[in-house]
Amino acid sequence: MEDGSLVMACSSKVSDGQSFRTDTARVKAKAASVFRELKAKTMPIQPVRRFKTEFEQTFDQVTACDVDTNGMILIDPAVCVDCGRCEAACSKIQEMGILETTGTGVRPHGGLRLDETMCIGCGQCTSFCPTGSIQEVSHIERLYAAIAEGKTIVAQTAPAVRVSIGEECGVPAGEVSTGKMVAALKALGCNYVVDTDFTADLTIMEEGTELISRMQKKWAATPEQADKMGPMFTSCCPSWVNNVETRFPDYLDNLSTARSPMMMMGSVVKTYFARKMDIKPEDIFHFAVMPCTAKKGEIDRMQMVTGGMKVVDAVLTTRELGKLIRKHHIDFPALPNAEFDSPIGNSSGAGRLFGTTGGVMEAALRTAYEILAGKPLGTLSYTPARGLSGIKEASVEIPLKDGPTKTLRIGIASGISNANNMMHDIRAGRRRYDFVEVMACPGGCLGGGGQPKSLDPRILEKRQSAIYTDDERATQRKAHENPEIQQIYKEFFGEPNSHKAHELLHTAYAD
């Protein structure tokens, strides 16, 4: 009740003027303990294999003690029906081979705990589990607790979520639901909703500047030295970063030092935005809605602590947001469109492309080419980077504004099996690139492990074409033309790769 006391719904009389909260962490923990008592009393000698209800999943995570987790993925073999789908996703689609079905439930291979394996947290296994035996670690309770504490709630939403959240809430696949998504988050109690696409534009400014300076060194080097330098890799996909750290540590220096757009947004929210809105950073609860399960681990990386602060406090997957929208009976299709909050809510079409494989590359080329050549790339839609192929490559001829024409060799991999094959080829000298984009999930973030589960074989195509539409609808199509990006450099960062930008927008890796 409002006075903080817990009452039993089944045996309490209600009267006018009373109000009740049924969704606080305390109520849920109590409900979980009562349910466990009941379960213990009625548990048959042979455990019954059954599907978990959404309610059970939530409180199992509140009181979790008998499950295996690495902070991103959670395995509960007790409700596994040994269908083998998660194992196939891990070993056949991703070629990681982390899981095995044992006849008594799925487990990591070799008797290891999940955090002892080389699992990269991509979550593809969770997308195929029909019972909830393997799923993302829920952060929903963190949000409820922050709302109960009276924190200022700031949400950010990833590029791929706006083209898939509708699938969770009665909107046909392939529609862009940006305005309804923002409205739903406000209805759920968010004070501000800002856009990860804005910091995707910021990433282009930082990563693009890094690429240009690497290329200027490479073009000035001898062919042997240039070969030794290898390509620069994108760093926004946390599963890919986990993969390089564990499987290709000799390439850590080739990863861009730019933080992912999600982490850049965390830094921006707790510094620039907090100051603008006159809110103390410690009074902000900042969470991200992501199509990704590995992002739940990325927020805990010690290299991301900024000014002694954790900058992103929680990550909800698209599925978790869908669950909340349904649970709170929000009529998503009927919501009026709402706008992101300024001055970190505007994005160019380039930033919007991040949600698909090839999107970071296309976005980067729009800006880097223009800076190097002093004129725009001929076409805005760069066809070689488009589509859903697992490996794409091209050579871009750049007539330098102050010199000869140079070639930029680009590679794009999506799905970690494709990325690993590409890496083996790069190491063996069979492929040579200057700039490589990698996303660990098939199709990029639009096929992320936290996205809605779907039986539609064309689902990735539909989401991808929605992302291309979202780019075409943008007022600006290039990151450097986004007026809010120009404003944040003028007022706060100075220029790309400045000292302040390095402090707040770049990172290091674990070797």
Binding site for ligand SF4 (CB under 6 A): 73, 89-90, 94, 96, 98-99, 119-125
Chosen residue from 159, 297, 411, 447 binding ligand HC1 by CB under 6 A = 159
Site for ligand HC1 in 276-305 (CB under 6 A): 290-292, 295
CB of 360 to ligand HC1, least distance (A): 6
CB of 288 to ligand SF4, least distance (A): 18
Helix residue ranges per DSSP H, 221-345: 223-229, 238-247, 261-268, 274-277, 295-298, 318-327
In the list ligand HC1, ligand SF4, none, the entry touching 297 (Cβ below 5 to 8 angstroms by class) is none
Of 260 and 367, nearer to ligand HC1 (C-beta) is 260
CB of 43 to ligand HC1, least distance (A): 39
Q: Tell which residue, 93, 78, 85, 7, has the closest CA to residue 43.
A: 78
In the list ligand HC1, ligand SF4, none, the entry touching 256 (Cβ below 5 to 8 angstroms by class) is none
Site track 236-275 with ligand HC1 (rule: CB under 6 A), x = hit: xx----------------------xxx-------------
In the list ligand SF4, ligand HC1, none, the entry touching 354 (Cβ below 5 to 8 angstroms by class) is ligand HC1
User: Is there a contact between 346 and 483 (Cβ–Cβ < 8 Å)?
Assistant: yes
Chosen residue from 445, 459, 474, 479 binding ligand HC1 by CB under 6 A = 445
Q: What CA–CA distance (Å, rounded) separates 248 from 271?
A: 34
CB of 394 to ligand HC1, least distance (A): 20
In the list ligand SF4, ligand HC1, none, the entry touching 324 (Cβ below 5 to 8 angstroms by class) is none
Q: Read off the tokens for 299.
A: 């927020």
In the list ligand SF4, ligand HC1, none, the entry touching 365 (Cβ below 5 to 8 angstroms by class) is none
Of 73 and 237, nearer to ligand SF4 (C-beta) is 73
Q: Map tokens 């926004």 to a residue.
A: 236
User: Is there a contact between 185 and 317 (Cβ–Cβ < 8 Å)?
Assistant: no
Of 107 and 259, nearer to ligand HC1 (C-beta) is 259
Q: CA distances (Å), 87 to each of 92, 97, 291, in order?
A: 8, 7, 21
Cβ-based neighbours of 481, under 8 Å, separated by 6 or more = 348
Of 80 and 466, nearer to ligand HC1 (C-beta) is 466
CB of 132 to ligand HC1, least distance (A): 22
Angle at 213 between CA 418 and CA 492, to 5 degrees: 100
Angle at 26 between CA 23 and CA 27, to 5 degrees: 50
By CB under 6 A, residue 323 contacts ligand HC1: no
What own/partner pairs with CB < 8 Å and gap ≥ 24 does 46-53 have? 47/78, 49/79, 49/80, 49/81, 50/79, 51/79, 51/130, 51/131, 51/132, 52/76, 52/79, 52/131, 52/132, 52/133
The one-character DSSP state at 365 is H
Cis (ω within 30 of 0) for the bond into 77? no
Of 98 and 325, nearer to ligand SF4 (C-beta) is 98
Q: Which residue is nearest to ligand HC1 (CB)?
A: 445
CB of 419 to ligand HC1, least distance (A): 13
Please tell me the chain's helix, strand, coil percentages from 3-state DSSP, rounded to the nearest 5: 45, 15, 40
Q: Is 215 exposed, middle or buried (0-12, 13-18, 19+ CB in 10 A)?
A: buried
Site for ligand HC1 in 450-509 (CB under 6 A): none
In the list ligand HC1, ligand SF4, none, the entry touching 73 (Cβ below 5 to 8 angstroms by class) is ligand SF4
User: Is there a contact between 234 and 413 (Cβ–Cβ < 8 Å)?
Assistant: no
Of 108 and 452, nearer to ligand HC1 (C-beta) is 452
Q: What CA–CA distance (Å, rounded) separates 111 from 53?
A: 28
- Interface size with ligand HC1, residues (CB under 6 A): 20
Chain contacts with ligand HC1 (rule: CB under 6 A): 158-160, 196, 200, 236-237, 260-262, 290-292, 295, 354-355, 439, 444-445, 448
